[in-house]
Amino acid sequence: MRILGIETSCDETGVAVYDSQQGLLAHLLYSQVALHAEYGGVVPELASRDHLRKLTPLIQQVLTNSSSHGHIDGVAYTQGPGLIGALLVGASVGRSLAWGWGLPAVGVHHLEGHLLAPMLEENPPAFPFLALLVSGGHTQLIQVDGIGQYTLLGESVDDAAGEAFDKTAKLLGLGYPGGPALAQLAEKGEPGRFVFPRPMTQRPGLNFSFSGLKTAALNTWQKLEQQSDPQAQADIAHAFQTAVIDTLAIKCRRALQQTGLKRLVVAGGVSANQRLREALAELSEGWGAQVYYPRLEFCTDNGAMIAYAGCMRLQQGQQEPLAFRATPRWPLEELNSSQ
């Protein structure tokens, strides 16, 4: 089964072709980062318009690159969660193409895409596994027993980890998107000069809270700004990143302990963070567990993960009716009832 996958939930236009026999045949990504940078964040209306401009040419190119013109068996597109206007572009183009081609279509949950992304790698994890989903919109710990068998164990009660990275980067004047820039700056920071809290680690449970860290960073920065300390920015970035990573690692250890699982999948944009990977490698070694990541380019949003998840869903017999749905808010666990 050969599936065309389309991702347009936020600020990346991603298109890919996945074949259940031959694997990933082609994928292309167009990032809108430069478009939104001057506004300091994603402008939804501009995102939708840019998806409209880029999506069809990208589909044409991916079909050519994978020699798949006339050889597609189904079309998958991100149904949600995400920006409604952006989702509508992918859903309407994807659903219409499938209709025109006389093929089945399937709407994919963006987070299911992220957490299945390591399945595209050479050594894919077997079920069941624990998944840490750390993106710009979500921070969740999920027990994954199979496709569509998800148990939410914990999540952020306020900002997502990536969102906290982006907001803290912004208030340190690092521009947009801030996560990778802040991580880079943190490398130059002096360890231990500042220490920020590890939120919600003192009490039981697997939920996270990251909005206080941003405030801790802001307060420290404002106090030091007047003294024009050039090293301070990097030291704050270091303290912030260390606090986020420690917190994620503590909760992962707790979740592994609680579930007894020995496989940990880490996905979403923040899983690209090298220090997080080091911390989780250390943790898993001590726990006798194995950690799985998507390749770096598939940690952030992409079409390949949507093509893969769509293929799994179509193989299970799932299909969209002729009308299409775009679901901006969509808890992952709702997928369980659609089995």
Residue numbers of the site for Zn ion (CB under 5 A)? 135, 301
Q: Is 142 in the site for ligand KG4 (CB under 6 A)?
A: no
Span 169-188, contacts to ligand KG4 by CB under 6 A: 177-180, 183
Q: Can residue 273 be called a binding residue for ligand KG4 (CB under 6 A)?
A: yes
Find the binder of ligand KG4 among 14, 113, 125, 268 (CB under 6 A).
268
| Site map 7..26 versus ligand KG4, x via CB under 6 A | ---x----------------
Q: Which does 303 bind (CB under 5 to 8 A by kind): Zn ion, ligand KG4, none?
A: none
Q: At closest approach, how far in Å is the CB of 208 from ligand KG4?
A: 14
Identify whether the C-beta of residue 303 lies closer than 8 Å to the C-beta of residue 110: no
Given 14, 113, 269, 310, the residue binding ligand KG4 (CB under 6 A): 269
From candidates 7, 19, 50, 301, binder to ligand KG4 by CB under 6 A: 301
How many Cβ atoms sit within 10 Å of the Cβ of residue 65? 15
Tell me the backbone φ, ψ of residue 109, rounded to 5 degrees: -75, 125
Distance CA 266, CA 114 (A): 9
136 binds ligand KG4 (CB under 6 A): yes
Candidates 92-100, 120-128, 210-218, 266-274: pick the segment binding ligand KG4 (CB under 6 A).
266-274
Quick one: what does residue 272 bind among ligand KG4, Zn ion, none, with the CB cut-off 5 to 8 Å set by partner type? ligand KG4
Binder of residue 183, out of Zn ion, ligand KG4, none (CB less than 5 to 8 A by kind): ligand KG4
- Regarding 300 and contact with ligand KG4 (CB under 6 A), the answer is yes
Q: In the complex with ligand KG4, which residue's Cβ is closer, 10 or 63?
A: 10
- Joined tokens for residue 63: 């079909």
- Asked whether 131 and 141 are in contact (CB, 8 A), the reply is yes
Residue nearer to Zn ion on the CB measure, 12 or 320: 12
Sign of CA pseudo-dihedral 248, 249, 252, 258: negative
Largest CA distance in the chain: 67
DSSP per-residue codes, 174-197: --SSHHHHHHHHHTTSPTTSS---
Instruction: Show the 3-state SS of 55-74.
Output: HHHHHHHHHHHCCCCCCCCE
- Is the CB of residue 63 less than 8 Å from the CB of residue 69? yes
Side-chain-side CA neighbours of residue 117 (13 Å): 31
Quick check: 235 and 220 in contact, CB under 8 A? Answer: no
180 touches which of ligand KG4, Zn ion, none (CB within 5 to 8 A by kind)? ligand KG4
Nearer to Zn ion, 104 or 179 (CB): 179
Question: In whole angstroms, how close is the CB of 266 to ligand KG4 at the nearest point?
Answer: 12
Q: Which does 235 bind (CB under 5 to 8 A by kind): ligand KG4, Zn ion, none?
A: none
By CB under 6 A, name the one of 118, 162, 294, 310 that touches ligand KG4: 162
Binding piece for ligand KG4, criterion CB under 6 A, among 13-21, 87-95, 124-132, 269-277 = 269-277
Closest CA to 167 of 215, 125, 225, 112: 215
Backbone angles phi, psi at 284, to 5 degrees: -70, -35
CB count, 10 Å around CB of 176?
Answer: 18
Nearer to ligand KG4, 42 or 63 (CB): 42
Residue type, 236: I
Site residues, ligand KG4 (CB under 6 A): 10, 135-137, 162-163, 165-166, 177-180, 183, 268-270, 272-273, 300-301
